[in-house]
Structure 1
Amino acid sequence: MTDQRLRELFRDLAETLPEGSSQAGELWRRHTRSRSRRRWAVAAAAVTAALAAAGIVAFPQRAERHGMVTPAGALTPSAPATRSMDRAPEARAEAGLPGLAAALPGTWADIPVVTAASGPVLALAEFGDGRIYMMKAAGRVPLEVKLADSEDADGNGGTPLKPNSLSPDGTKAAFPQKDEVVVVDLVIGQARRYPLPGFNEVVLWRGERLLVEQAEANYLLDLATGKARRQPYKGFTGVAGYRDLRIVSPAGGGWTVLQEGGAEVRLDVQGITDKGGMPVGVLGNHGWQRHGLVAKSASAHGRPRAADVVVVAEIATGRVVRTLLLPWGDAPDTRCGKGGCPVRGWMNQDTVVIESKDRLLGWNITTGALSRVAELPDEVTAYSLRPV
């Protein structure tokens, strides 16, 4: 087998894995999804043979718990050479969009309450009864943990369930609380409380660590040791994903930038977003990183009527590769809420998940196609999706 063919087989297999996963068990569990069984059988057999020839043996692991490993490289999905702009249909026409196959049912109101269910946790959701549930393919299971409302320095309360509470592998959940962060092992049902003084409002997973954001300070919390290290920045600018990425947009105008470590690049959203900026301090609207790309929504530039725009850009260069315009529409057929139409994560390599009022949309950044992912009933007050 040539080196080129081996690389192609590895790339085909890697396209179906969540970022950061290195488990052979994940390859085995997912091999029936998205691609034909015949292609997977040939590819998997060839790769296994190549690994064996090199003296490497891979052992399948349990499907419900996967290690969280920071990827060594960045795989960027195919992106247009020039910026592409897409436009969503009017809000009243969303119901006519094609459905996008997903593990969770398309209508969350149809998911029954059960006391136990096998399989991975696909999402967390808080319903009108005030309880948080683990959402699985077979039903929603109540999460047995005592939590208080998230609270800020002004006394404003909010749900402890945040858009990035669920870990990328679906085995843990993190909830910011005043003076502590609660982390629940969803496999064994055990909770651990980490003391962290202050009004903790946002949690962002960083492998086996958490970036905890407060208005006046940010901390990197090591879940193994319980030690928290204060960061040289503060506020709510972090991006969900494995990389320690931030989107900084000066309130007084000027260039929006992507920051990672000591590096900084301009995010070229001039003429795309309102005043060339990105939302600052909007707790339910942060960026989402996947491989070499980042996605985030903002108010659209120069619109005579209200509209949001979702921006996907290259992390290394700040170049915008694709945008999606989401006109809010007229009452009663409107989309977007007080916080706009936020990005809620990624599905596979190419699809960004966007909240459009009581519906989740999937936007394919390679083809520009828009699909319906799920319908959220009014009783769902908060949720956190597992990227797949």
Structure 2
Amino acid sequence: MRLADLVDQMELPETRVAEGAWDAARRRTRRRRTAVAGAATVVMLVAAMSALSLRGGAGSTPPTGPAHTPTSSPPDDAPRTDAAGMTGIDHAHTQRLLTRAWWAGLDTVPRLDPGATTELAEDPMTEGVFATVDPDNEAVPIVLGADGQWRRIDLPGLVPIDDGGGYTSPVIRPTAFSPDGTRLALPQPDSLVVVDLTDGSRRTYPMPAAFLAYAVWVDDTHVWVAAETDTAGTVVDLDSGHQSPSSLGPSTAYVDGDTLSWGRNGGSLDWGARPDVPTLGNNDGGLFPYPPLVRAGVVVGDMAVNRRMVGTEDPSLGNGVVAVDATTGDVLAFLPTGQGVDLEVLLGWQGDLPVLGLRDDTGKYPSTVIAAWDYRTGHLEPLAQTDSHAIAWRREVN
């Protein structure tokens, strides 16, 4: 079941999109002269991506039909913008819009904050669709089942994730759910803990002194783990307990028997079983490296853009979410978030639209907003919001 469908069935306030926010962005976008020198490639890339991401508006509807594989060319009916115009996009205004107008319109978006919970061991579920942690205890996961009920997982000995230097973080990471939504992978200082949501049991895989920070599902029976500073990791066989060294890092996605590494180095989509694909996009904008989202010929990453527009006093654009063509590496769209969003997380998919977690950095709107991004139109569809910054969304396979 898709989480968006479950939210629609729950007794929550009706979702409302921030009416007119993206239309306002297009109306108020203004052109200005820009001197292009030195960093011309970066300038043109950022401008082109921002122009693509501003197409469409709040009135558009995400497609509900079969998955669409975008190409590097815009559709025939899409607005055309020449290169000179694209370098004149007012990026600073676009970022202010995402911070102010868009956040202000989210008052009635349904909340996914746990109310009454039962103990998982006493009330198991068929599958989980969303997970967070107890606000008073970062070592206690709370999971929303496909039946719309919340379960609490209070396991003796479970502790927050430790980086080995005294800093701790919540035990739920965005990659916690198994592909079928029946288990959670939880990093621990000296082990990997896997919780079975269908019966409340757990299995512990000892890894002494590893201080695990990452747990990424390779498939239904294997989990890749590593410490925070590791550039390579270990694959744990959940059936046998066997551990195998892996040269892959935390920015690797596991896709239909293949791997795609795209992270701190940027520059290319590094496939395991096919030629690498050069791209101007990157996936190195997050606080922690995480796997890109991959589906239907599209790769989505958390991109860093560290240079300002040449010839202007605009600050660096900072981070954003980027969509690229998996075959050509062409940039399809860019959602600028660098000066307005304190947290951005690549969560999963709703159909063929990537699902993001966004959090305002001003403190005025403290919720994390979960939204589907239609990179073809620039439209953000808020699905839910939660007070927590530690969240996992079932990375849907259908």
TM-score by length of 1: 0.65
1:365 is the counterpart of 2:369: no
How far the C-alpha of 1:79 sits from its partner, in A, is: 1.3
In structure 2, relative to structure 1, the CA distance for the partners of 1:365 and 1:106 (3 Å cut) is same
What percentage of aligned pairs have identical amino acids? 20
> What per-residue deviation string (whole Å, max 9, x for no partner) do you get for residues 60-107 of structure 1?
xxxxxxxxxxxxxxx96231442699967432212465899xxxx821
Distance 1:246 1:269 in 2: 15
Distance 1:144 1:238 in 2: 30
> What per-residue deviation string (whole Å, max 9, x for no partner) do you get for residues 170-206 of structure 1?
1000011123100011001110011234222111111
Residue from 332, 340, 349 that aligns with 1:321: 332
Distance 1:167 1:244 in 2: 17
1:249 is the counterpart of 2:270: no
Residue from 90, 93, 100 that aligns with 2:101: 93
Q: Is the 8 A contact 1:345 1:354 kept in 2?
A: no
> What per-residue deviation string (whole Å, max 9, x for no partner) do you get for residues 310-345 of structure 1?
1112333322222222252xxxxxx322xx523222
> What per-residue deviation string (whole Å, max 9, x for no partner) do you get for residues 232-262 of structure 1?
24x4322365542211433xxxx62222225
1:201 is the counterpart of 2:213: yes
**Quick one: which amino acid aligns to residue 79 of structure 1?**
P
1:384 aligned partner:
392
Q: Is the 8 A contact 2:124 2:198 kept in 1?
A: no
In structure 2, relative to structure 1, the CA distance for the partners of 1:353 and 1:280 (3 Å cut) is closer
Q: Where do 4+ consecutive residues of structure 1 move more than 6 Å?
A: 83-86
Greater RCO (CA < 8 Å, at least 6 residues apart): 2
1:134 is the counterpart of 2:143: yes
> What per-residue deviation string (whole Å, max 9, x for no partner) do you get for residues 92-130 of structure 1?
212465899xxxx82123643345486641111113121
TM-score by length of 2: 0.64
Alignment of 1:243-282 (within 5 A): 243-250=258-265, 256-261=267-272, 263-269=274-280, 277-279=282-284, 282=287
Residue from 221, 232, 250 that aligns with 1:236: 250
Residue from 165, 168, 175 that aligns with 1:164: 175
Distance 2:254 2:273 in 1: 19
Q: Is the 8 A contact 1:162 1:284 kept in 2?
A: no
Number of aligned residue pairs: give it: 296
Segments of structure 2 that go 5 or more residues without pairing to the other structure are 10-65, 79-85, 309-313, 361-367
Q: Is the 8 A contact 2:127 2:197 kept in 1?
A: no
In structure 2, relative to structure 1, the CA distance for the partners of 1:241 and 1:376 (3 Å cut) is farther
> What per-residue deviation string (whole Å, max 9, x for no partner) do you get for residues 23-68 of structure 1?
xxxxxx99xx9xxxxxxxxxxxxxxxxxxxxxxxxxxxxxxxxxxx
Alignment of 1:152-231 (within 5 A): 152-197=163-208, 198-208=210-220, 209-214=222-227, 215-216=229-230, 217-231=232-246
**Quick one: which amino acid aligns to residue 148 of structure 2?**
A
Distance 1:134 1:80 in 2: 37
Segments of structure 1 that go 5 or more residues without pairing to the other structure are 1-15, 19-28, 34-74, 271-276, 329-334
Distance 2:148 2:383 in 1: 18
1:375 aligned partner:
385
Distance 1:368 1:376 in 2: 23
1:145 is the counterpart of 2:145: no
Superposition RMSD in Å: 3.5
